[in-house]
Structure 1
């Protein structure tokens, strides 16, 4: 359980109920405090990759409070734990980072995590399927031109605003009475850095913190109205973002359904 999950009695109760219903036996249960090197070892794709903002946010979040380590045994334990994680996140997650739980996706990751926390792996049951997601490229363009110190400052600003807003999205939909709106949708292939990089490149007037806030809101709510304007202009922006791999729609204001999915 991550810091937000451990701090919520409802999440704790739901997790333990799910574990019991899945007929998994708890072998280890204890609170832990992650060191920075442990964060790096558990999430190497983020901390060793070209995602400097996500790296700073992830480390700050995971070290903001205690976590709760659960080691369980049972038939298909890895797959069952992944299913539990998905259900808990669906009901309780408040954002891309404040999402309650982490669970290894395969036997190799299980053994790596057990070794990291000094738990012996002998006799542990369960093999889970791996669910590979081909991510789009990391940070690029105007956002990537910022120095490491500037990126760390942007990450700190985003963190402080997110905490102040109880992990809700920070983006405010501009209420302008134009006919068409540009909507960005959640896509698991897209990293925080990549999506924000695309927005910074397309919209010259969008500051890095605004782009990151927009993507943060998409992660929380599933979709976000980015801009409102004339149909031709919105269509042009939608086509560019779609060409870059983002999932976007253009919608007529007031309509319940998009008029085109790009």
Structure 2
């Protein structure tokens, strides 16, 4: 998107977009809370409407997912964002970006449990804000043409053994994992425990892309399937940790160090088995 293609301009900087995602839209408690925060922060509603996003809409909002190195992020984003209705709320106020960011933080800290279960989106920065306004204030309701801006993110993506697997296979595996979640909730992705003495836990907060994080796991734990890799990463996001290995302390510490050295967060913990033995 060039400057000449922008429908909005500097005068639109008192406006922004709040997008209630499908998991937020499906919860009356979350939707009510968001509208309460809009009032609390003294935002004026310009326009609101519901819609079911399609694949192209997802890429219009997050253009970086169109890159091949974020193929897994793209597929899970499609599955998440097209899983039901969303709600667009155009708001206006002074310091609107700051206020919307605070609303997003409050909602996610209370209800959001992971990258694909975080209830709400608001744009950050000039380019993303203008693009989102062009999309949801002009293009969707009025049928005006929309030009997607280029977002060539520098965050590392898929690599190693995972990158050598067929994209179609990765997409189908993502669908299998997502369907498990849809049927049984996030609990359905929890991995079983062997109750060894020590365990390595994968922690959330990976600052890279999920494609990179999943690649680290698949590269390090050689006997895992792609499905196990996806489930472990998403379990950590949803529940605060995922037990990815169990065994003797020195082996677990070595594995934890290997994964942490590549930028993910891990810890070695005493298993419930050992804790129960101490109590007895």
Change (3 A) 1:110 1:168: farther
2:247 equivalent to 1:241 = no
> Runs of 5+ in structure 2 lacking a partner?
1-19, 140-152, 276-280
Deviates more, 1:29-38 or 1:65-74: 29-38
Aligned match of 1:44: 63
2 CA distance for matches of 1:116 and 1:43? 12
Judge conservation of contact 1:31–1:66 (CA < 8 Å) in 2: yes
* TM-score for both structures, normalised by structure 1: 0.85
Deviation at 1:19, TM superposition (A): 0.4
1:75 is aligned, of 90, 94, 105, to 94
1 CA distance for matches of 2:132 and 2:252? 46
Deviates more, 1:6-15 or 1:56-65: 56-65
2 CA distance for matches of 1:136 and 1:251? 30
- For the residue of structure 1 that corresponds to 2:256, the secondary structure is helix
> Runs of 5+ in structure 1 lacking a partner?
121-133, 257-262
Deviation at 1:94, TM superposition (A): 4.1
Aligned match of 1:232: 250
Residues paired across the two proteins, number: 242
2:174 equivalent to 1:166 = no
Judge conservation of contact 1:169–1:220 (CA < 8 Å) in 2: no
1:9 is aligned, of 28, 31, 36, to 28
1 CA distance for matches of 2:137 and 2:67? 23
Q: Please show how residues 1-262 of structure 1 align to structure 2 within 5 Å.
A: 1-119=20-138, 137-168=156-187, 170-176=189-195, 178-254=196-272
- For the residue of structure 2 that corresponds to 1:182, the secondary structure is strand
Across the aligned residues of Structure 1 and Structure 2, the Cα RMSD in angstroms comes to 2.1
2 CA distance for matches of 1:173 and 1:243? 26
